[in-house]
Amino acid sequence: MDKYFATTAVQRWIKSKTMADEYIRKADAIRWVKTECNPYGKPTLDFESGKKVIEHLERMPSADVVQVVRCKDCEYFDIRHWCNLNENDFNPDDFCSYGERREE
């Protein structure tokens, strides 16, 4: 299997995931590659290509990603677009480091 096919297979998998916009968890990507290299099923990646992809993934730095609470979902945000914590008005899609998700 050539390097191009291994790369496009991984890119197809990444596009199929829906996580915080475009970020994926490294562990999920590695698990997918191991599944695709399964010798007992119909593998779409050969073992050597899969091994190389996993080595590259393991060397990649993880993104510093944190889920945020948008103002519209925050317990301190009211209907007038006022933040009762920061005592200021904000747009519903804004966020800050103090936001706490409102209980439904």
Let me know whether 74 and 29 are in one domain.
no
Let me know whether 70 and 92 are in one domain.
yes
* CA distance readout (Å), 85 to 13, 48, 68, 79, 88: 41, 54, 16, 14, 8
Q: For the chain, give the mean pLDDT.
A: 75
Let me know whether 14 and 51 are in one domain.
yes
Let me know whether 79 and 34 are in one domain.
no
Let me know whether 26 and 51 are in one domain.
yes
Highest-pLDDT range among 6-20, 21-35, 44-58, 65-79 = 65-79
Let me know whether 87 and 52 are in one domain.
no
Domain span including residue 10 = 3-59
Domains in the chain, number: 2
**Torsion of Cα atoms, 14 then 17 then 21 then 23, to 10°:** -50
Q: Could you read off the pLDDT of 56-99 as tens digits, one per residue?
A: 888 877 777 777 889 999 999 998 999 988 888 899 989 888 88
Structure tokens at 40: 């007992």
Let me know whether 55 and 70 are in one domain.
no
